[in-house]
Structure 1
Amino acid sequence: MPVSGDIIQIYKDQNESLLKKPIRYVYNPTVYAREPWERYLRKFCNNEKEVLFVGINPGARGMCQTGIPFGEVSVVRDWLRISGKVGQPDNVCPKRPVRGFNCTEKEESGERFWELIKKYCRKPEDFFGKCFLYNYCPLAFMDENGKAVLPKQSHLKDSLQKVCDETLKKIIDLLEPNIVVGIGRYPEERANKVLENNEQNIKVLYMPHPSPKTGLSRQKWLEEAGRIIENNNLTQYFGNRAN
């Protein structure tokens, strides 16, 4: 067999390794939903912040549709007042179509998170004046059935963490927060890793992730997350508090 045949096989093996189970689909909404994503940044991240909330990665019905972290369509459109053109990923999972702002499926994690914020803030500017919400990883991973694969479950974990840790450090250095809130154990862990020297004495807090998959009911999550906010006096960073 000519050498070209061996090279073709090597490339086939490489491609299978890069997309080996459980990963079959990769979405990057910061690329195909760049317009609303950049509007989010330009609208709400024009100054240093006191508190940085860090999520994990895009949800199929949230950021994958709108480009906004915890981006439940109705919240992004009606409360954050952000819209924009949303294209398509290079390889679309049939069970996880991207319909952008026409998506009618609810993103419960996003609904819960923003319900919590709206409990304390009458309008988005009350939250984003001194706080910002950022996702540790911009990529959404899915298996062949459309089931989410978390970055820490990926065979790309080490290389992903290297890049995402470096980016998180740059975001922290730029925004200079006094507090970082990891929404879930994984972003809390990565924030602690990034800040292991922590010369700035930045405090890292844990907030349970709002996904129903954690086993917390909506009310239970709101209560636990609310306690994190109140016990750590994060309300001092919210303007015009609703309560």
Structure 2
Amino acid sequence: MNTVDQLKQAARRLSAACDEAIAGLEASGAVAHATNPLDYAWAHHEQFLDLWGGLGATTLLLGMNPGPWGMAQTGVPFGATQVARDFLRIEGRPLSTPANAHPKRPIVGMDLERQEVSGTRLWNLMEEMYGSPEAAFADLFVVNHCPLLLLGDEAELEKRSGADAPRPHVGFLRHPISTGGHEVEASHPRLPRGSPAHPPSR
């Protein structure tokens, strides 16, 4: 099995784990709305894996979880719509809004005009450093520890610092992510403080 097929298998396993966790997350009150872009935007995510997952990357960039204007719309980690189209060459496909989505955060897809800030910064930096996605993905690959979009009643989750800060997306997933023959186990207790899955208190 080649690297791209391994990545697709890992993504489907992760997606299934997320689907199983959604009802519990919403019922617990930790979040009001939890939706899975690996389900409704799989047509985009699969393109991302097909195009860029098999170029031999040896460095993994690990994000935390999607924002409503990035991967939630494009199925691509840090995937602001403009960079997903123009730099990553993802072709837009019709997407449907999940039944449990936040009413203020509908799924527009690749036609969304609002741009996700962190995704724009990341991929613009990759373009500046490498010049092309081919060169970038020959060196690195990007995944999210948790691909769920997690929103509160007022859309964005309440921001709190310290030990009481809600981390509903941390700790319920454990899966192997295959990158060029190496597996990175995205299990938050094994990640150091300050990593994406274990952010500092401040």
Length-normalised TM-score, structure 2: 0.71
1 CA distance for matches of 2:50 and 2:25? 38
Residues 19 and 162 of structure 1, relative CA distance in 2, 3 Å threshold: closer
Structure with the larger helix share: 1
How far does residue 90 in structure 1 lie from its aligned partner after superposition?
Answer: 2.6
For the residue of structure 2 that corresponds to 1:37, the secondary structure is helix
Structure 1: state its 5+ residue gaps: 1-14, 181-186, 197-203, 208-213, 215-243
> Paired residue for 2:171?
161
Q: How many residues align?
A: 168
Could you report, residue by residue, the CA deviation over 1:119-156 in whole angstroms, capped at 9, with x for unpaired residues? 21111111101210000001111011111479x724x5
Aligned 8 A contact 2:151 2:157 in 1: yes
Which residue identity does 1:27 align to in structure 2? T
2 CA distance for matches of 1:173 and 1:80? 19
Which residue identity does 1:35 align to in structure 2? A
2 CA distance for matches of 1:205 and 1:141? 21
For the residue of structure 1 that corresponds to 2:171, the secondary structure is helix
Alignment of 1:54-73 (within 5 A): 54-73=62-81
How far does residue 47 in structure 1 lie from its aligned partner after superposition?
Answer: 5.0
Residues 17 and 113 of structure 1, relative CA distance in 2, 3 Å threshold: closer
How far does residue 174 in structure 1 lie from its aligned partner after superposition?
Answer: 5.8
Alignment of 1:28-47 (within 5 A): 28-47=36-55
State the percentage of identical aligned residues.
30
Could you report, residue by residue, the CA deviation over 1:52-100 in whole angstroms, capped at 9, with x for unpaired residues? 0000011100000000000000000011111232222231212111100
For the residue of structure 2 that corresponds to 1:52, the secondary structure is strand
> Paired residue for 1:131?
140
Which residue identity does 1:176 align to in structure 2? H
4+ residue runs of structure 1 moved beyond 3 angstroms? 15-18, 172-175, 193-196, 204-207
Higher relative contact order by CA 8 Å / sep ≥ 6: 1 or 2? 2
Structure 2: state its 5+ residue gaps: 1-22, 160-164, 197-201
2 CA distance for matches of 1:16 and 1:126? 41
> Paired residue for 2:182?
176
How far does residue 17 in structure 1 lie from its aligned partner after superposition?
Answer: 7.8
Give the aligned CA root-mean-square deviation in angstroms.
3.2
Length-normalised TM-score, structure 1: 0.60
Which residue identity does 1:34 align to in structure 2? W
2 CA distance for matches of 1:138 and 1:47? 22
> Paired residue for 1:109?
118
2 CA distance for matches of 1:171 and 1:149? 30
Residues 205 and 125 of structure 1, relative CA distance in 2, 3 Å threshold: farther
